[in-house]
Structure 1
Amino acid sequence: MAAVAVHSAVLGEGRPTLPYAEAGHPGGTPLVLVHGYLDSWWTFEPLLRRLPPGLHAYAPTQRGHGDADKPPDGYLPEDFAEDLVAFMDGVGIERAVLVGGSSGGVQARIVAGRRPDRVAGLVLLGVPATLADKPQVVQFWNRVRELRDPVDPALAAELTDGLTATPMGRGFLKTVVDENLKVPAHVWRETLRGLLETDLRATLSGILVPTLVVWGDKDPLLTREDQRTILDAIPDSRLLVYEGVGHLAYWEAPERVLRDLADFLADRA
């Protein structure tokens, strides 16, 4: 198991301070792991602990989430994307492979499209082409739009229900829920509002870096057609389908994700 260290990155004047987890050899290929809605770096703990030699991973907790600073505003996908570039600047990453999990892939692909000089490759793990057409997400928004502090722990626990096709350890799930509960109600609202009101299909344009798309065929949120939209928009992209896996392949099949990631990097070495 790889050792995981947690540090803080100061992004500069007017930007939040972000905690981040780091694992792997300093000379390894740099990866930046980008978490999704309400998560923190902890969502990538199964990957970080199993990181093979030759890789050097950074997993920042984004603004408003986990133990990161929680400004009153700045929760559009483009805000998170700008923070991501500032994070890379702050920790001295010139160029990296961006690995986006769930909605974290939205800000990762914004950076890939706008700053290809900083992105060596893009990996999208269970990432939606868009969310506004997902009935479950719209129904959830109708609850979140009225949310006030303190957030009900039962609501946070609901978020993990049914997302994986195989049961996860109770200790890990409790940590995930506890991290979700660190997120104040205004961040729940404004982050989801940003994901629903932004034209997410437009964030797929202009991506010319090599891209690996991973989708579990038991994903309760995303369909194969949703992933096809991503493939059609990104010229140098390919899809891997994980049979029997749900929305969060990096929880359910971390070893396979890392193997496929290593193969993806080797093909482009």
Structure 2
Amino acid sequence: MDASSDTTPTTTTAAPAPAAPGRMAPGIWHVPFPVGHVYLVRLSDGGFAAVDTGVPGSAPAVLDALAAIGGRPDALRQIVITHFHIDHMGSAADLVAATGARVLAGAADAPYIRGTATEPTPLLTAKERALHEQALAGLAAAGTPPLRHVRVDTELHDGDTLDGWPEGTRVLHVPGHTPGSIVLHLPAAGVMFTGDTMGLGPDGRLVLGPFNVDRDEAIASFRRLAALPGVDTLCVSHGEPLRTGAARALQEAAPETDWL
């Protein structure tokens, strides 16, 4: 989604998360939101990282989830933003103010997160255009606060590894949804944080994320991720996360036919 829209097919509200964090894997928790999930990861020093931050106004719910798994606000050391859209970076500035966490993001998206460049416009299919309008209306109806941009402390590139994470967490640059979209891959755990490169549709099928700046590039990025060995758990941002069976879902996906 762009900075005023959403990629969720079935959601029309941006209300804070109503549920407690759920355990995805050892040291990884899912914080469910109606629009744009957040994930918390325990770091090797006992602190935590957040992967994405939800829409503006979500910071109190993220901090409540952190407290529920034993973390004080100052235990949030890192915020990794998978891309610049409002449901991913929306509460980053508030969380930084509350915790002092460092912000990490893909290098090509960093100017949009900082607010120093104009965001690229997604190229929408007819089906996506209707969904886009629905999502905009949902955010407005929910009273979503204005977006605040935030500094990026560390710009990430393809092949980087994240300091302080419990294993060799790899950064993969997956352009297409946005120029600087990234995913995080934990090979030993078989876990991948997908951002909006893919999501789980209402029928339970893994689909290409809509609202891409370059659809062909997004499909190529999807196919690159589908070819990774040993992925069993997908921490998606929209739809239910896949705790098991991700490899089969990736093999059966047909991103070339989605949203047409």
The answer to whether the superposition gives a TM-score over 0.5 is: no
Higher helix share: 1
TM norm structure 2: 0.35
